[in-house]
Structures are given as C-alpha cells and as structure tokens.
Amino acid sequence: MALDQETLNQLLDTVARFVRDRLVPLEHQVAEDDAIPPHIVDEMRNLGLFGLSIPDEYGGLGLTMAEEVQVAFELGQTSPAFRSLIGTNNGIGSQGLVIDGTEAQKRHYLPKLATGEIISAFALTEPEAGSDAGSLRTSARRDGDHYVLNGTKRFITNAPHAGLFTVFARTDPASRDAKGVTAFLVEAGTPGVSVGPADRKMGQKGSHTADVVFQDARVPAANIIGGREGQGFRTAMKVLDRGRLHIGAVCVGVAERLIRDSLAYALDRQQFGQPIAEFQLVQAMLADSRTEAYAARCMVLETARQRDAGRDVGTEAACTKLFCSEMVGRVADRAVQIHGGAGYMAEYGVERFYRDVRLFRIYEGTSQIQQLVIARNMIRDAKGGR
C-alpha cells in the first residue's frame, strides 16, 4: 500500500541527508579501500534501506515501485557501490522470493533480508551463459528430498557477503533452453558451496562480485522457489523486469549528481576572463544532459506507476533501462568534458563516476538485450500475442 505523501517525503528527505552527509564524504575512501566501512552498513540497516521493497508483513518498508524509484533517485546521488550493497536485498536477491516464493519461504527468509541481517545474491550468469541466460548449465539432480547442485556462477554481485543465493539450475537434463530451469534458495554455509576471490573491476570499487561454485551441494527440495520445477527462468525474467526499472532510477540519480557537479564547476571555473558556464558550447553540454536526465526521470516514474497499476511493463522496463543507462553514459562523458583536465584526474572524482556508470549498460541485461526484448515484444504484440 502506498505511503501517505508526508511519510514518503520524510523518507526521501532522510535518505537525501544520509547520502549528502554520510556517504558523499566517504566516496574517495571507499574507492581507495575497495570497502564500505562497517559502521555505514549498520547505519543503512538502521534506516531500513535493506528492506525498501520487501512487504511490511515481512519486516520491510513495503514501498510501491513508484516510491522505491524515488528512493533510488536519492541513492543514485553518490557512488553506486553504496546502492549496490543494499541493491540485491531490495532487487534481484529478494524479488524472486517476493514474487514467486511460497508463504513458508517468505516467512523464513524475508524478515532477515529486510533488516540486512543476511545479504542475498542472484546467481544466474555463468561462464558460458550471460545474455543467453536460458542456456545455463549448472545442474540440479534430484536425490530423495534434496537436489544435488553442480556448476559455476560468474560475476555474482555481493557473493562474498551473501548469506543466501537465488540459484538458477537445470533440473531437466534433457533440456537445453529456458524450460528446464528451476530457481533454488541456497544458503551460503551449505557444504559444497564456495565463493571465489573478489573480481578486479573497472569501477564500482567497494561493491564486490565473485564466482560461486557448487560441487555436489545438497539443497532441500523445499527450497525450490514456489515449490515447482521448471518455473525458474520465468521467475528470473520477472525479477529482471523489476530490476531494470530500479537500475534506470539509479542512473537518473547519478546523472543528476553529475549535472549538479558539472554546473557548479562551470560556474566556478574561469577561462578567457569569465566562468566557462557563460560559453555556449559548454551550455549546450549542460542543456543536453539536463534534457536527457529529465526524460529519463519521467520514463522511470511513468513505468513505475504503470507497474503499480498492475500492467505488464516488460517492454517499458526494457525501454527505461536502455535509455537511462545509455543516457548516464553520455552525461558522465560530458561531465568529464566540462571538467576538462580536472575531469581526467582522480582527485576530482568525475573520472570515477565515468568508470562506475559503464556497468549500467551491461548488467541486468546489456543494452543489446534490452533492444532485443523491446523489438520482440513489439512484434509479439503486433501479432496479437501475450
């Protein structure tokens, strides 16, 4: 149920202040140390940030999508690594359970995810299965009341911190496509589950990804999300539809931050006897960035409202992810350009954002996958399908 406007405004204001006063001053340190200080993680827990999207009957804030994206606009105003830590519990790590889990599964796990007591991760991608997620090879063989999992998952966000994985594995060995895939809830301590060393990445330092390896890991049959085999791929797609909208909102937040910093710099930096903001070629970059960020914000809000109204927004979520992630790439590029030499230097932080935002065009579906989803849905609709 939607919050009343005053409560929502209070929440947005609290998050904005937390970002400005607590997170922004730590951006450089987090990138240098490749770690978020534990006291900041505790503060995030106390603010309820791990449970934004988890229904209130399971201990979360139960935000609607339209409310959640507004929080994401605020969280986007700082290094994406901070958002990434809470991102999986609110998004891909919990939503499979929220959308398709059984009541018992929800009662068991969601309260701990909502408080951040456990961090969750979404284990879909594999060394040989990225965009073609339906071709995944991790196997789950039935053995009495258990399934035995074998395989490797790759680039799994928050894997080094996770207490719970949503793992997509093939239960039908005869299948090669999406139909034979099942989603399992796998606890990190399960014998046979191991996490590799953290990957070294281009950006988003402080957020960690790693391989997750399953070697004869025995998982109770009761941990199949929703209790039925063969539903896993659909669950993954539903989770990603939602996740793509959230990522779009984060892109808007980052873009707005970069535009603010670029404008402040352009007003301050003097060349040829005046602030560079007075030059029309600089103004054009500021105006293009502002226009695109505004368009992106409107797309996110409209799609979120449509989703809250119960519409299938698979196409619109893909449009939003595509536009917002490409948009923030252009905005970050212009931010570097407006900052000139300073934009290239680490101490100003703009180059860090430039590297950080590159990921948005890749994860939760590349731009090319979004294009493919949009066009396929257009063709399906034209033919009178789903």
Q: Annotated catalytic, 292?
A: no
* Nearest residue to 361 (alpha-carbon basis) of 332, 315, 333, 321: 321
Least gap, CB of 237 to ligand COS (angstroms): 3
The verdict on 343 binding ligand COS (CB under 6 A) reads: no
Report 355-384 residues binding ligand COS (CB under 6 A). Answer: 363-365, 369, 372-373
Q: Provide the strand spans (E) within 61-176.
A: 119-123, 139-143, 146-157, 162-170
| Part in contact with ligand COS (CB under 6 A); list of ranges 121-129, 256-264, 266-274, 330-338 | 121-129
197's tokens? 């060393």
Least gap, CB of 362 to ligand COS (angstroms): 8
The verdict on 98 binding ligand COS (CB under 6 A) reads: no
| Helix 232-268 and helix 65-75, axial crossing angle in degrees, nearest 10 | 40
The verdict on 8 binding ligand COS (CB under 6 A) reads: no
Among 238, 290, 330, 358, binds ligand COS (CB under 6 A): 238
Which DSSP letter does residue 19 get? I
- 220 contacts 145 by C-beta, under 8 angstroms: yes
Q: How far is CA 177 from the centre of its chain?
A: 25
Binding mask 148-187 for ligand COS (x = CB under 6 A): -----------------------------xxx--------
| Part in contact with ligand COS (CB under 6 A); list of ranges 8-16, 94-102, 126-134, 276-284 | 126-134
Quick one: 342 or 372, whose CB is closer to ligand COS? 372
Among 53, 125, 171, 204, binds ligand COS (CB under 6 A): 125
The verdict on 237 binding ligand COS (CB under 6 A) reads: yes
The verdict on 137 binding ligand COS (CB under 6 A) reads: no
Return all residues near 205 (Cβ < 8 A) that are at least 6 apart: 30, 31, 32, 34, 81
Q: What are the Cα distances from residue 139, in Å, to 136, 174, 323?
A: 9, 11, 35
Number of chain positions touching ligand COS (CB under 6 A): 23
Least gap, CB of 234 to ligand COS (angstroms): 4
* Nearest residue to 185 (alpha-carbon basis) of 155, 160, 217: 217
Q: What are the Cα distances from residue 3, in Å, to 10, 245, 250, 300?
A: 11, 20, 21, 19
Which DSSP letter does residue 175 get? -
Quick one: 245 or 327, whose CB is closer to ligand COS? 245
CA atoms within 13 A on the CB side of 21: 7
Among 40, 66, 110, 133, binds ligand COS (CB under 6 A): 133
Contact residues for ligand COS, defined by CB under 6 A: 122, 124-125, 131-134, 177-179, 233-234, 237-238, 240-241, 314, 363-365, 369, 372-373
Active site residues: 364
